[in-house]
Amino acid sequence: MINETIELKEGIKFHKIQTNKFKTNLLAIFLTMPLTKENVTKNALLAAVLRRGTKNMQTQEIISQNLEEMYGAGFDCGIEKNGDNQTIKLYLETINDEFLPEKEELLKKSFQIIFEIAFNPLIENGKFKTEYVQGEKENLKQIIEGKIDNKGSYAMERCIEEMYKNKAYGLYKYGYIEALDKITEEELYNHYKEVIKTCKIDIYASGMLPQNILEMVKENESIQKLQERKVQINEEPKQLIEQEKIIEEKMEVTQGKLVLGLDVDSNIENISYITMCYNTILGGGANSKMFQNVREKASLAYTVGSNYLKRKQNIIIRAGIEIQNYEKALEIIKQQLDDMKNGKFTQEDLNNAKNLIIATIENIPEEQDTQISYYFGQELANTNISTEEYKEKIQKVSKEQIVEVANSVKMNTIYFLRN
Amino acid sequence: MKLVESTRIKEKAYIEKLNNGLTVIIIPKENTQKKYVIWGTHFGSIDNRFIMPKTNEEVFVPDGVAHFLEHKMFEQENGRNSLDVLMSLGVDANAYTTNNHTAYLFETTNNFYEALDELMDYVQNPYFTDENVEKEKGIIAQEIGMYDDDPGWQLYMNALDCMYKENAIKIDIAGTVESINKIDKDVLYKCYNTFYNPSNMTLVVCGDFKPEEIMQEIKNRIVEKEKQGEIERIYPKDEKGINKKYKETSMPVSKPIFLIGFKDENTNKDKVKKHIAIEILMNMLVGKSSPLYQKMYDEGLLLAPLDMDYEFTNNYAHVMLTGQSKEPKKVQEELLKQIQNLKQNMDNKYFERIKKKVYGDYVVEYNNVADIARMFLSDYFKGINSFDYIEQYNTVTEEYTTEILNEIFDEKNMVMSVVNIK
C-alpha cells in the first residue's frame, strides 16, 4: 500500500492510496469548513441538493442511469461532524477496469461524474432549481424530526449538546428546522459559491490506480476552475466546567437511556493512545468493566459501553436501563471509574484491550472507506502516522499511564432520558 | 482438492470432501490480512421433522431448536464461554441461524490458529445440562419478544403466510415461547448428533492461505466421528397457488411499510441463471432509475427505492419487494402497470444497462473475505457454486429474461403484506 499526497493548489489536495486488495476503485471528495450555527443547516441541505442534478445530468434519473451504465457504480453523499468542522462527503465506487467483461475507461468516467456532482450543479436563473431545494428541505426536515426515533443515539446527541452548549461541537450535524424553513434557493446557491471558494478540499482515490491518475484529476475542467485558498482547521479551545451538570428529560420510552459525558484533562504525551486503552478496558467490548459489572453481574442493562471522542478528548458512557435502576446503575458505573483511577484492573485486561484495538487498526487497510477516513483524520489532525506506528504506540501503553489518565477524567454531564 | 475458478474476476476456490464427509472450501485471497472462517451445518428452522440415519427413528422437534442449539454451543464445561475466549484473542466472533442453515464464524487479522482451535473445539464439543438449557429459555423468550416488536419481521412473516398454507419456512426461526419451553437437553443432543455430523457440514475459509497448509490445519483439529448417511428430512408437500392475497396489521411505525411478494413454484429449474434474470427484472421494475421509482418519488409516495430480494431453496422460492409509503396500494397498482409495460416492451437499452449494473453488484461481493465466505457457504447449501453468477452472466438474454418475467411476475402469484400505523 502506498499513500501519496499532492497539493494541486493551495488548500486543495489529492491523496492517492495504491492498494491491490479490492475489486473496486473508490473516489471521495471532502469539502471541509468550520462548524457554525449559521451554516450548519445550509451545509446539510447543500449535501442533499447536490445529488439531485448537475448541469450535464439534470435529473436524479439521469445520474442513476449513468451510474448503472458504469456497472452499477455506487454513489453516496452525506454530511459529517469532524471536531469543530463540518464536512460534505461524496463517494463514488466503481469496478476496477481489470474485472470488467469488456474494456472500458471507468475510472476516468468516475472522476468526471463525481467532480461534476460536486462542482457543476444545476443552476437556473442564478440559483438552485426551486423544485430540488424545496423537495430536499422536506426530506431534511424528516431526518431532523426523525432524530428522536432512535432513542439511544438521541440521548447521546443530547448529552453532547449539553456538554457543548453554545459551542460548535454541540451543534447537530443535520441542522435545525427553524433555520431550514428560512433558506431560499438563492441564498443556498450563494452559500454554495462561498463554500467552493473557501473550503478545504481533499480528493481521495483508492484502488489499483493507473500511472496517469494525477493527470486525470489535473486535466478535469472543474478542478482547473478551482482557485487556491487559505484554509485552517477550526479548533475551539477546551473549557472545563466547574461542576457536573445533571439533565433529565422525559419522553415516552419503556427503557431509560443513561449517558455520561466525561472530560479527559491531561496533557501527557501520547494521550490519545493511552485514552484509547483506558476506554477499551472501561467499556470497549464484552470483556470490559462496564459490560461485566453493569450487565453480566448486576443485570442492570441490556446495552452498555463507552466511546472515546478523540478530537474533543471526551469519554461517553452509555447504558440502556430500567428506569427505576437509575441510582443503582450510576453507582456501579462510578465505581468502575474509581476502580480505573485506583488501578484496579489486571495486566490481562490491558492485553485484551490492546488486542481489540490492534484488531481494529489492522482492519483499516482492509476496507477502502475506513482507510480513506483514517487518512482524512490524519490530514485534519495534521499528523502522519502509519498503521504500523499506530500499533507500536498502542503496544507501548503502560498501566501506570492509564492510571494517570484515569485520574484526570472528570464528570461533565449526566444525562438521563426517562418516562 | 478440486479447483474451481473464475478467470474473469481472477479468483479461485478449492473444494474437498474429507473422509469423514465434511466439505471444506478454501478461497485464497493473497493481498489481504483479514482471515475469515465460517463453519455451517445444513440445519435450519425448517428442519423440524426428520429420520435419524443411525437408528431410522422418525423425530419431530419443537420449533426453534436449530436456533436454540446455536445459543447453547458457546457454553462449555466449568462456565467457560467460547465467545469470551475468542473476544480476548482480539477476534470478532459470531453465530447465526437461518431457515436452512446454522453457522459459526470469526474474522481476524491475528491469532488465527488459536481462534481456529477454539472454534473447532466448541463446535465439536457440546455441553448441555438441564440447568444451562433451562437458563437459556428466558434469554430466548426475550429475543422472541424483540421480534414480536419488530415491524419488519412481522411484515415478512405475514407475507409468508400469504404465500404458503403449509410450508416449513413459516416457522419462526426462534420458535415461540411455547415451543421453546418443550426443548430439553435430550432434544438438543438428538439434533446435535444428527445434524452436526461432519457429513452434514461445510467449512469455508477465506484469506491469505496456502490451500494445502490450511487444509492440513483443519484436518488436525477434527474430532473423528462415525460417518453417517443422508438425513431424510420431511417437509409438508409442495402446494400450488398462494394462500391469500393480502394481510395487514398495525404497529407503531412512522409510515406504513409494505411487502409485495411473488411466489415462484419452479424451485429447481436452472437456479443461477434464473436468479440473475430475476435480479435484472427487480432492478428494472423498482430500482433507482425505474419509471416506477421516479414517478412515486415525484408524487412523494416513495422516498427510497424498494428493497429487493429473491429468497430460494429447494422447498420454496419467492421474490420480495419491500418499502415504506403512505399509500402502499398505489405503489402496488403502479407496479402491476409497469409489469404489463415491460411484458409488452422489453426495452433493449434499459435491459443492457441494468444487466451491467447487476454484474457490478456481483463483482463487489468479492471485495471482502467475510462476504465471500458467507456467500460460498449459503450457496453451497443450495447446491450452487458462487462463481457461476459471474460465469453464467452472459448467458442471460433478453428473451430468457422475458420468459422469467412472464412466468414469475404474474398477478396470480402476487401477495401483499402491510403494517399500518397504530
pLDDT of amino acid A249: 95
- Annotated active-site residue in B11, B16, B58, B70: B70
CA distance B343 to chain A (A): 21
Estimate to the nearest angstrom the gap between the alpha carbon of B301 and the chain centroid. 30
Contact B357 A71 (CB under 8 A): yes
Cα separation, A117 vs A77, in Å, equals 10
Strand order of the sheet with strand B92-97?
A: B2-6, B11-17, B23-28, B201-207, B35-41, B102-108, B92-97
Domain that holds residue A30: 2-225
CA distance B394 to chain A (A): 9
**B177 touches A: beta carbon within 8 Å:** no
From chain A, the residues in CB contact with B31 under 8 A are: 19-21
Q: Which three cell numbers stand for residue B108?
A: 481476524
pLDDT of amino acid B269: 75
**B9 touches A: beta carbon within 8 Å:** yes
Is the domain of A351 the same as that of A270? yes
Lowest mean pLDDT among A80-84, A311-315, B34-38, B268-272: B268-272
Is the domain of A251 the same as that of A371? yes
Tens of pLDDT, residues A360-383: 999 999 999 999 999 999 999 999
CA nearest neighbour of A222 among A126, A78, A109, A111: A111
- Is residue B84 situated within a structural domain? yes
Pick from B182, B211, B233: which residue ends a domain?
B233
Is the domain of B295 the same as that of B147? no
Is the domain of A289 the same as that of A402? yes
- With residue B318 as reference, give the H or E element that holds it: strand B317-324
Q: Are B275 and B312 in contact (CB under 8 A)?
A: yes
**B90 touches A: beta carbon within 8 Å:** yes
From chain B, the residues in CB contact with A60 under 8 A are: 294, 297
* Pairing state between β B23-28 and B201-207: parallel
**DSSP symbol at B171:** S
Number of independent structural domains in chain B: 2
Domain that holds residue B335: 246-421
Cα separation, A50 vs B45, in Å, equals 46
Is the domain of A64 the same as that of A174? yes
Average pLDDT of A131-146? Answer: 90
Is the domain of B182 the same as that of B290? no
CA distance A225 to chain B (A): 31
Is the domain of A197 the same as that of A278? no
Furthest-apart CA atoms within chain A: distance in Å: 67
**B383 touches A: beta carbon within 8 Å:** no
CATH code, domain with A40 = 3.30.830.10
ipTM of this model? 0.86
pLDDT of amino acid A323: 87
Give the residues of chain B that fall short of pLDDT 50: none
**B390 touches A: beta carbon within 8 Å:** no
- Is residue B97 situated within a structural domain? yes
From chain A, the residues in CB contact with B363 under 8 A are: 23-24, 71, 95, 99
pLDDT of amino acid A142: 85
Is the domain of B139 the same as that of B223? yes
Is the domain of B54 the same as that of B114? yes
Pick from A167, A196, A225: which residue ends a domain?
A225
Is the domain of B219 the same as that of B307? no
Number of independent structural domains in chain A: 2
- Is residue B389 situated within a structural domain? yes
Contact A72 B358 (CB under 8 A): yes
**B253 touches A: beta carbon within 8 Å:** no
pLDDT of amino acid B361: 95
Residues 6+ apart with CB under 8 A from A99: A23, B8, B9, B10, B363
Cα separation, A336 vs A289, in Å, equals 7
Is the domain of B92 the same as that of B161? yes
- Is residue B239 situated within a structural domain? no
Is the domain of A169 the same as that of A30? yes
Is the domain of A189 the same as that of A265? no
Contact A367 B83 (CB under 8 A): no
pLDDT of amino acid A134: 94
Pick from A175, A192, A225: which residue ends a domain?
A225
Average pLDDT of A206-213? Answer: 94
Cα separation, B161 vs B362, in Å, equals 31
pLDDT of amino acid A1: 58
- Is residue B261 situated within a structural domain? yes
pLDDT of amino acid B253: 81
B107 assigned to active site: no
Estimate to the nearest angstrom the gap between the alpha carbon of A402 and the chain centroid. 26
Q: Is B324 helix (H, G, I), strand (E, B) or coil?
A: strand
- Is residue B258 situated within a structural domain? yes
Is the domain of A303 the same as that of A161? no
From chain A, the residues in CB contact with B391 under 8 A are: none
Cα separation, B336 vs B414, in Å, equals 10
Pick from A225, A260, A290: which residue ends a domain?
A225
Contact A366 B364 (CB under 8 A): no
- Is residue B308 situated within a structural domain? yes
Is the domain of A310 the same as that of A220? no
Lowest mean pLDDT among A78-87, A115-124, A278-287: A278-287
- With residue B186 as reference, give the H or E element that holds it: helix B185-195
pLDDT of amino acid B258: 98
pLDDT at A241 over 70: yes
Is the domain of B219 the same as that of B256? no
Pick left, alpha or beta for residue A383 (phi over 0 → left; psi -120 to 50 → alpha; otherwise beta).
beta
HEC assignment per residue over B266-285: CCCCCHHHHHHHHHHHHHHH
Cα separation, B72 vs B60, in Å, equals 20
Cα separation, A377 vs A5, in Å, equals 14
Pick from B233, B267, B295: which residue ends a domain?
B233
From chain B, the residues in CB contact with A74 under 8 A are: 364
Is the domain of B318 the same as that of B402? yes
CATH code, domain with B25 = 3.30.830.10
Cα separation, A168 vs A36, in Å, equals 6
pLDDT of amino acid A255: 81
CA distance A199 to chain B (A): 30
Residue of A64, A68, A146 lying closest to B356 (CB–CB): A68
Is the domain of B268 the same as that of B221? no
Residue of A61, A68, A149 lying closest to B357 (CB–CB): A68
Residue of B33, B288, B363 lying closest to A366 (CB–CB): B33
